[in-house]
Structures are given as structure tokens and as C-alpha cells.
Amino acid sequence: MPLPERSFARWMSSPRAWLQLAGFVVGYTLLGMLGLMLQTAQSGVTPIWPASGFAFAVAFRFGRRYLLGIFPAMLLLALWAGVPLEAAVLAATGSLLEAAVPVYLLRARGITELGGLRSTLWFVFGGAVLGPLFSATLGVAGMALSGSLSLDAWQVWLLWWLGNSTGFLLVGGLVLATRDWRQFLFHQDFLGYALLVFLPVAGLGWLSSYWLGDIRSSLMLYLMMPLVAAMAIREGHFGVLLTGLVAVLAIILSSLAVPDYYLRAIGLGPLYLNISLLWLLSFTGLVVSAAWRERKRGDSYAWLAKHDSLTGLVNRHEFSKRLRQAQARIKGQGGEAVLMQLDLDDFKWVNDTMGHLVGDEVLQAVAEQLQAAVRSRDTVARIGGDEFMLLLENCSLAGAAEVAEKLRKALADFSLEDGARLNVTASIGTVLLSPDDANLDDLLRRVDNACYRAKFEGKARAVQST
């Protein structure tokens, strides 16, 4: 979650702030040097600019004030690469806007991490697509002013945008998706991922560079699709972006071994086509991950709509639905079924003297006992508080009496998880479903009266409705 912004003057008055800003400058400079080392001689721009994602990530997590460090970092990079000052200043301004605008857009919409489709699409289009437009436009303008353009301005602009967008997507996205990165890196299956996903992805990236200029180069990237999809489903956004980063680095590092004369012969198109394909592959993986996450969330909501969150039993609404279906079946096809209501005796005493946590533990344990006492086709529900209901299908009143006795004995032997014994009893009312039942409310009234009679007659017993 992004940290709250402090006033700039207050922040700059702290010596620690200067150290933090210096750390940002060093990090940005080192990543910028890496990007410059990867740039192609033909275009003068790099296929990936990881510093763009780094700047966005720091600004998003710790505050936009760190973006001031872009200017000294870009001046250092200009000195190192021999770039004219005016070009460096314009590129630095574009890089600042590249990170600041997406941070503002995402924060304004309450996005703190990559998750569902909404946050994913806002990050991609509001960040990885929109942000690099600023750096590409001002960067190319600086190159034009300094006379260092080696290609047409629109070609350099497009390559600049692609390199920065790729760095923004992979590096910046990793930071937004790193809530569970320690769990992932120390996952028991991480070695398996390294052997079955990352190593094959690196190998396919190397082959794509080896066959650069050939149709097989792009085909190697399509073979990554199942691996990216698998990581999207199993490890989410972080797994997708880490896989994409491995692929991009493998392609770029292996392409450095390709002679310049060969690149001049085939042109820059095949290399940047592969980078753009990997961008699309990563974007597709993010969408798959977001859709899968929302599907799981939808399944969870659907489950909660039918179940009690504490005990996992069917809730009142779902139980009423199944009871109506049983009534309709008996009226149309005949057969028998028993409705049973169970109220715990003196449960309020447990909550008042031992606390609600112990009370919740008791309710969960009772739910387990009820489930164990009936068949898989029967329905057990918690309808509220310490009240439970059971629907025993194809069951007679005699069979229900046996179930009630089994429950009474099971509850009598109840103990807490720490081994402490707790005397739990229940009053049980039972009623036989009949084709003559007028309506559901009448049936529920009868079983409630039977349960009340069980309590009135001394508790810890079962009473059948007359």
C-alpha cells in the first residue's frame, strides 16, 4: 500500500531524506546504464528501459517527491553516454511525467496493487501505455535538437515508447504485484518453476534471437503462451511479470551477440517485433490472471451467498430453498423426509462467561458433529445464533430419533481444541414432512413448537411434533 505523502519541506529537512533520495538516484542511474548498454547502434534507443518502471514503483510506493532524483540521474547518464545537456534535460522532464502522471491516475482511483481487471487495465493503459508517451515525445525532441537522430523521428519515437513501456510494464508491474513475493520466492515449488518455466522461457528467448529475421524467431515466442498462462493461473500477476522479464532479458542479452552487420542487413524490425510480442504476451497474461482472480472471487461470493461463513454450513436462505424442493418432491412423488430443529441449551452462558471466541469454537465443533451424524445427501444448516436445522431425506421419524440420539451422545462428549471438557446439550424438535402440509411457514412453526417443548420439558432431549 502506498505510504502517505508528507510535506516536501518537512521531508527535505531530514538527513534521512537526502540519503533516500541519493539511493533513488543511484538505483535509477544503474538501471539507466543497463538500458544504455542494451541500446542498438542503429536506433540509439534501448529495447527496454527498466528505469521507467523503477521510477514509477518508487513514486507509487513512497511518494512522488523521489522523482526529483530523475534530473541528477539523467545528467549522470548524459555524462556517461556523451549525450548533450539539452537532450538530457528534455528526456529527464519526460521521464518525470512518465512516472508522475500514472501515479496520480492510479491513486486517484484508489488502486493500490494489481488485482482484478479494473486495476490491471488502469495500470496497463494509464501507466504502461500513457506514461511513456511523455518520455518518448520529449526524448525524441531532445535528440532532434542535439542532432543525434539516426532514423526518422517517428521511428525513434515508436522504439523509444516501446522500450520504456516494456520497462514500465514489467518492472513497475512487479512492484505493484509483490505483496506475496517472499511467499513466491520461498515457495516449495519455486525450484520447479525455475526448471519448468523460467529455464524454458530463457531458452525460447535465446532461440528467438538465434533465428532473428526468420519466422521461427516469432514462433518461439508463441510457444511461451502456455507457460505464461500457467503462471497466470497458479501465481497471478507476479508470476506473469517475472516470466515476461526473464523472456525479455533473454532476448536482449542474446541479441547482443548478433553482429551489427547482421542487424543492419535484416533491419531492426524483427528484434522490436519480438519485444512487442512479449509486451502483448505479458499483457495477455495479466488479463488472464485478473480474470481468473475475479472468477475465484465470484465463486467465493456465490459460496457465501449459500453458506454460513463461520461454520461452513448451508445458511437460512439456501436451506429454505432445499426444504421447498423436498416438499414439492414429496407432494409429487411421495416418500418421506424429516425436518429437525436443534437449539443449544444455555449457549448464552458460554458467550458470557468464556467469551465469544470460545462460543465460535463451540458452534464450529457442533457443526462438525452435525455433519458427521447425517448422510451426505442430507442438509445441515445454521439458521442463526445457536440454532441449527437438518433436512433428512428418505428418512422416517424412527430414523430421525436415532439421529437425534446420536447427536445427543456426540455433544455430551464434546471438548475444546485445548482438551477442556465443556458440557454442551441441545433441545431438538422433529417433524415429518407430509404431502398435506399447507405451506412452509406452517411446517417451520410446527418444528419450532416441538423444539420449544423439548426445552420446556427439561432440555437435552428430542420431541416429535404431533
Contact criterion met (CB below 8 Å) for 134 and 94: yes
What b/e sequence results for 46-71 when a residue is b if at least 16 CB atoms lie within 10 Å of its CB, and e otherwise?
bbbbbbbbbbbbbbbbebbbbbebbb
Three-state DSSP at 443 gives helix
CA 317 to chain CA centroid, nearest Å: 30
Contact criterion met (CB below 8 Å) for 261 and 204: no
Distance CA 157, CA 162 (A): 9
Helices (H) and strands (E) in the chain, counts: 21, 5
Share of the chain above pLDDT 70, in %: 88
pLDDT at 99: 94
CA dihedral 256, 258, 264, 266 (to 10 degrees): -120
pLDDT at 44: 60
Residues in the chain: 466
Distance CA 130, CA 381 (A): 52
Residue with cell 482472480: 293
pLDDT at 1: 47
Contact criterion met (CB below 8 Å) for 336 and 396: yes
Distance CA 264, CA 274 (A): 17
DSSP letters, 277-341, are HHHHHHHHHHHHHHHHHHHHHHHHHHHHHHB-TTT--B-HHHHHHHHHHHHHHHHHH---EEEEE
Tens of pLDDT, residue by residue, the chain (466 residues): 454 455 556 666 677 778 888 999 999 999 988 888 776 655 566 788 889 999 998 999 888 888 889 999 999 988 888 888 888 899 999 999 999 999 999 999 888 888 788 889 999 999 999 999 999 999 999 888 887 777 788 888 988 999 899 999 998 888 788 765 565 666 657 777 888 888 999 999 888 888 877 888 888 888 999 999 998 988 888 889 989 889 888 887 887 777 776 666 666 677 788 888 889 999 999 999 999 988 888 878 888 888 898 888 999 999 999 998 888 888 888 788 899 999 888 888 888 788 888 888 888 888 988 888 888 889 999 988 889 999 998 888 888 888 888 887 777 666 665 555 567 788 889 998 877 766 788 888 888 998 988 888 888 788 887 6
Distance CA 427, CA 417 (A): 24
Alpha carbon distance, N-terminus to C-terminus of the chain? 61
Nearest residue to 237 (alpha-carbon basis) of 145, 155, 192, 172 = 172
Distance CA 310, CA 277 (A): 47
Nearest residue to 218 (alpha-carbon basis) of 207, 229, 228 = 207
pLDDT at 3: 46
Distance CA 298, CA 290 (A): 12
Residue with cell 556523451: 82
For domain 316-464, give its CATH number from 2.60.130.10, 2.40.30.40, 3.40.50.720, 3.30.70.270. Answer: 3.30.70.270
Nearest residue to 105 (alpha-carbon basis) of 128, 120, 123, 129 = 123
Q: Which three cell numbers stand for residue 373?
A: 451424524
Query: What is each CA distance from 44 to 119, 219, 245, 444, in whole angstroms?
Result: 34, 27, 22, 80
How many other CB atoms sit within 10 Å of the CB of residue 463?
Answer: 21
Domain ranges of the chain: 8-304, 316-464
pTM (2 decimals)?
A: 0.73
Distance CA 289, CA 53 (A): 20
Contact criterion met (CB below 8 Å) for 200 and 246: no
Three-state DSSP at 379 gives strand
